Structure 1
């Protein structure tokens, strides 16, 4: 691959002109020579020749009129958290960054939209105890409680939006040293928008099929030389394309103000509120013991198996944040972030299944025949969370002899409380025809709520230290250590665990723009980390042996390489990795007690590319292969040793690219592939693989006004996002169109 550099003088008369010449080269992987035609298409970048010897030959300049776009899909040089003490190129682990520009181009409005097209991630489903919301699996392991906002854990367990996001950072591999408990397969950090000193405003409005509509506003205003305010607002409504009735009703607002911008001492105050008032949709009934099907029944994708006159979801998430920063010098910076958050999940939803249809004197439970029936069960809950978090970081650089250190040291305190109310007066369960369900049936019910009671609390205290040591220009060491004290109390039983987690990494730089690395990291999952949310072996609400158990332990190692090519506009990554959970929970077949004698592992490879191939050609692509294996797991008398871990696809890939064919016209398109996934430990039920095709067209009417058309799932295939152990299967949206107009002034 070849990067070309142009040596030019600034010419104000040629504003918006790109000047290409070939007076120096920087090959990426060794010396590679491309044809002259390809060189002419390569990106140009000014570089002054500092040589004091003979001047190089200068080829004829090629002047191309037109503006070069500034927004690309190139990953940032550093991640947002100060815990990452090295540039991303020299960080010894895989990190996927989805930029704001990419989210806009793809028309992604939710975190689920973003993760659905990210290789190495599959989606899970709640059943009611675990609420409907974002439930990702990263490299084979659940990460629903490993979602962070600006570096602080998010306790909301809801559905996240993109209207106030600058980027989504997916950190892969065991990450407890960075993030604390959990993080077996990785974690997700949402980076929010912050006030800036440049004035601008951006208004957008869009309309689509299924009566979809969406409006957003992003206004930033400086107040004096060092103060700025910013306001982001979003409102979205309509139906879900390809589903017969579920509605979307979403609102978000995020004001913020920053003091001391451009000075050593800065204070940012921000607030965010997101409300989802939509129709919960658990998809279609899947299977039970009486069926011999191994995939979901072939029903009309438009069929809605819930109750339009009864089901609802009120999901509210509020956060108030204070960020204080001070630069003592270029070698030492201080940061303290305090957040108060609260969230509410209040819902009544239908769980469609084939369970116990005969109990209601209906036809047999079956997916075959014109009279096949399914059952509507109630799932209702009222759950309220509140949390206070404080995190302090001291970071910077120092030297010990010839060794250069880039460090980050910090402490963290969190306190989460969980409340619930008993929900009564539910509608009666009923059965209906599988092939032609009626979601408009009238239901008589009168919901009643009991008093609010505290279900429990979680307290954590952590201290951590990260250090990147530069041994020489070519060799780096990356070290990390965290000590965490975790206390959980469900008002019946209290447990406290203290544990260490660490990471080790070595980086070799054969060139300034490339690295080869190997790393090792650990993670811990204490009992009760979800405070019983979802029940079973994951929570303090399970059996006594689960409640009294030590944390599950995991470790992962990774060997990989990263290269920034085309004048650091395109990032290439490749890695081989393994994650082992050595102390997984399992059931003793003799006593029925839950023990830590289980184990599983996931190994795989990941390849990725993100950035700009030319100034007009952006690309974001990746491929992940996973081999998830249950090494030892028993549930009663059932033995699952050697089976594939459920919910995980072996193959996943995504490609999205845009090309500016004219200065004002950009075309984009992409394809996503997800392989089949088993949804039960016995590997008898599976969700089929699928391809999804998306497209985009953008036209800049003027410097301020742009029009955009997005079409997703062009083939209108029935795509399954997830399943709850085969009881039902969640259906992804069908073909959707959205036409939007955006006006921006600066």
Structure 2
């Protein structure tokens, strides 16, 4: 004890002396000024000492106060007092000004109401663990898994995060491209699509060919859609893409069982900076983009950001020119130290000439056709007819107010308006000659208004040695849209000798309807921490309402649903960086209508059990996860065997799987991103009869669906990305993506062959060669480097999609 006391006194003395801090003249200038501070994760005591040196402020403390504690680090513009407060969050230690510009650290005294009356005065209370460290490069912090800023290592759920820097390493032209190296995600399943991003998570989803996928979110708010009107927002809008795997209804309301994709918008930064990007690529792609940010006032209370892009490109298929313009202004206002308001807006206009429904027959793609193979660049529409014109305008805000260190209020709101005018020709069926296809001409005009708001209060308090972070929220969504759809039979097309510029008859309307979908949800969550233990409990009640007013055909309906969903998880955080966990979660999707007896359908349910482990070596940027899970989609509609044209709610699909993912920093400038997914899908209960083409005799056959596997769901999916950066400013990278065979129809007759793709990139930091070119980077990136010809997926007898061919882009970017 005597030796430890002497060491403690010596340490206090060294810290008070500043450990080599700048002279007192510098100290006098800094306490009230915001400075750019960058402190890596690591032991808390070392971080405090480093802060003192950086800002020239003396910080006196006994190392015993923070022994054994660590910090997630700190990056950004802060005053010394603010920076110290952030570093000390959750440590049980607080800073007191010493009256001379410095600080003295003391143990925080718990309020009297937290101290049991019978507690012995000589026994020091255990300091509860806290769960909200500041973000750093070493510890990834995200709010998407818990709606609180919780490190990924302490979030008891599988989550993948793709940062802007990772996006720069690869050729990312869509959100689907961003997540192709993430476990549990099957992206770009519909090949090259114009309207939306086709994404499946843990086997569920796989929609979004022409509109937003049902599992898409922006800044934690659901992006509602019609299948056409909304979706496919430009990836230049975002600074991060997050994949949450498994049911998420407790925090987000109605959702698919597999999980969600969340896109995080670019936000204003306190440090001035920006980017100008010039891009040229395959298919004569020409693109320019700019992104600038910084303070508008000297006190950094008003910040701005302006991002935008324009491109003009052709596509893999003929007659598929695309043009897009997107602009996204944003502002952040900090009226005081406890309040932040960020305004987020964007406008995007698309004018696409290609087909959003360019699917192909099974025979001629994955099943041999005696006439030959259908070429990937075949255009199934007509260049005189195709058109996709969409405008998207959105405005929203994110408000945060801290009443105290223990009470915080957040309100997120977004309004999005979509307008779409679209006409397409698509394949209906393959004729007996196996070369002629019948076609249909389809047109629509849609308008939609999407309102969504999320209000939540976060409360932090201790019950003895146990820390609580309680979240109570109320959210609401309103999605209203109108649609007018038209149809006519179009001329046939020879797949192997196509004739274009044909005369297309006038379409006749077959649908004129208005929809009003509303949802209100009340949710609560408690994150409980005791020593290394993390317990999460969540509960939510939702009410949904669906109104349909139909003018053609005439009619109306008004339906409502209610759903209660639950979530529970337990994690233990070892000092060596290991964090095993077990979780249970539920989801729901509204179902409207009634069965033969007139009983209204209950919501479709999802439920998942997951056992996993996370590992992040202390102070390291490496992060690895592994998880096994049993995921069920329950209560979906299937045919009523006793009453034709009616349905019963007994359908069930089981998805069991294994996921492994790692991002590892290696010596000598190397880094690796690897992912592997094993999925075992099975229809465990169904009354439906499904059909497919038998490759043996090219006939359509039917059989019962129960016991079969899901189509377009690969059993194995693996990827590996290796990156090497040297001191001369050259970065070389390459990747492999492998997808095993999938079934091409619900009856499991046809099979889509497995495929392996190679990606590569090279980046040159020209400033490392010539100092006058600081910030200038030249890069070349290629997806499917060897131009592998493959089918991405098939979903029936006449709907197969070629995957994207070789796509090379060359970027010249200046960043400051």
Q: TM-score normalised to the size of structure 2?
A: 0.75
Q: Distance in 2 between matches of 1:296 and 1:87?
A: 57
Residue 415 of structure 1 pairs with residue 483 of structure 2: no
**1:722 alignment partner in structure 2:** 793
Which secondary structure does the structure 2 equivalent of 1:527 belong to?
A: coil
Q: How does 1:222-621 map to 2 (within 5 A)?
A: 222-224=295-297, 225=299, 226-240=301-315, 242-260=316-334, 263-278=337-352, 279-287=354-362, 298-355=373-430, 357=431, 364-366=432-434, 372-423=435-486, 429-438=490-499, 440-444=500-504, 454-470=513-529, 472-491=530-549, 492-527=556-591, 548-565=600-617, 567-592=619-644, 593-614=646-667, 616-621=669-674
Q: Distance in 1 between matches of 2:752 and 2:686?
A: 22
Which secondary structure does the structure 2 equivalent of 1:487 belong to?
A: strand
CA RMSD of aligned residues (A): 3.3
Q: Distance in 2 between matches of 1:553 and 1:294?
A: 41
**2:11 alignment partner in structure 1:** none
Q: Distance in 2 between matches of 1:453 and 1:554?
A: 33
Deviation string 1:70-92 (CA, Å, 9 cap, x unpaired) is x9997723335762464210111
**1:88 alignment partner in structure 2:** 152
Q: Distance in 2 between matches of 1:245 and 1:656?
A: 34
Q: Distance in 2 between matches of 1:351 and 1:87?
A: 47
> How far is the alpha carbon of 1:442 from its aligned partner?
3.6
Q: Distance in 2 between matches of 1:292 and 1:663?
A: 50
Which secondary structure does the structure 1 equivalent of 2:573 belong to?
A: strand
Out of 641, 645, 653, the position equivalent to 2:706 is: 641
Residue 119 of structure 1 pairs with residue 183 of structure 2: yes
Q: Distance in 1 between matches of 2:329 and 2:598?
A: 43
Residue 629 of structure 1 pairs with residue 692 of structure 2: no
Q: 1:183 to 1:433 in 2, by over 3 A?
A: closer
Contact 1:294 1:685 in 2 (8 A): no
5+ unaligned residues in a row in structure 1: which ranges?
1-8, 13-49, 53-70, 358-363, 367-371, 529-539
Contact 1:334 1:395 in 2 (8 A): yes
Q: Distance in 2 between matches of 1:744 and 1:412?
A: 38
Q: Distance in 1 between matches of 2:189 and 2:571?
A: 38
Q: How does 1:56-135 map to 2 (within 5 A)?
A: 76-80=140-144, 83-84=147-148, 86-123=150-187, 132-135=195-198
> How far is the alpha carbon of 1:744 from its aligned partner?
1.7
Contact 2:183 2:661 in 1 (8 A): no
Contact 2:145 2:244 in 1 (8 A): no
May I ask how many residue pairs the two structures share in their alignment? 653
Which secondary structure does the structure 1 equivalent of 2:168 belong to?
A: helix
> How far is the alpha carbon of 1:464 from its aligned partner?
0.7
Q: 1:546 to 1:385 in 2, by over 3 A?
A: farther
Residue 153 of structure 1 pairs with residue 222 of structure 2: yes
Q: 1:514 to 1:286 in 2, by over 3 A?
A: same
Contact 2:177 2:188 in 1 (8 A): no
More helix as a share of residues: 2
Q: 1:351 to 1:323 in 2, by over 3 A?
A: same
Deviation string 1:609-651 (CA, Å, 9 cap, x unpaired) is 1252347223222100000001112225841111101221111
Contact 1:169 1:188 in 2 (8 A): yes
Deviation string 1:119-170 (CA, Å, 9 cap, x unpaired) is 322358789xx99422322111127212111011001442132101111110
Deviation string 1:358-393 (CA, Å, 9 cap, x unpaired) is xxxxxx342xxxxx2223322322222212222111
Q: Distance in 1 between matches of 2:329 and 2:195?
A: 27
Deviation string 1:177-218 (CA, Å, 9 cap, x unpaired) is 121112311111110011111111210011112211111100
> How far is the alpha carbon of 1:423 from its aligned partner?
3.4
Contact 2:477 2:520 in 1 (8 A): yes
Contact 2:274 2:815 in 1 (8 A): yes
5+ unaligned residues in a row in structure 2: which ranges?
1-18, 23-61, 65-134, 207-212, 550-555, 691-702, 768-773
Which secondary structure does the structure 1 equivalent of 2:612 belong to?
A: strand
**2:88 alignment partner in structure 1:** none
**2:101 alignment partner in structure 1:** none
Per mean C-alpha deviation after superposition, the further-off stretch among 487-496 and 555-564 is 487-496
Q: Distance in 2 between matches of 1:207 and 1:374?
A: 36
Q: 1:562 to 1:106 in 2, by over 3 A?
A: same
**2:695 alignment partner in structure 1:** none
Q: 1:524 to 1:365 in 2, by over 3 A?
A: farther
**1:23 alignment partner in structure 2:** none
Which protein has the larger Cα radius of gyration, Structure 1 or Structure 2? 2
Contact 2:184 2:245 in 1 (8 A): no
Which secondary structure does the structure 2 equivalent of 1:413 belong to?
A: strand
Q: TM-score normalised to the size of structure 1?
A: 0.81
Q: How does 1:689-700 map to 2 (within 5 A)?
A: 689-700=754-765
Which secondary structure does the structure 1 equivalent of 2:517 belong to?
A: strand
Contact 1:158 1:315 in 2 (8 A): no
**2:283 alignment partner in structure 1:** 210
> How far is the alpha carbon of 1:690 from its aligned partner?
0.8
**2:112 alignment partner in structure 1:** none
Contact 1:295 1:688 in 2 (8 A): no
Deviation string 1:563-613 (CA, Å, 9 cap, x unpaired) is 112732000100111101232221122313211111110001000012523
> How far is the alpha carbon of 1:401 from its aligned partner?
2.2
Which secondary structure does the structure 1 equivalent of 2:731 belong to?
A: strand
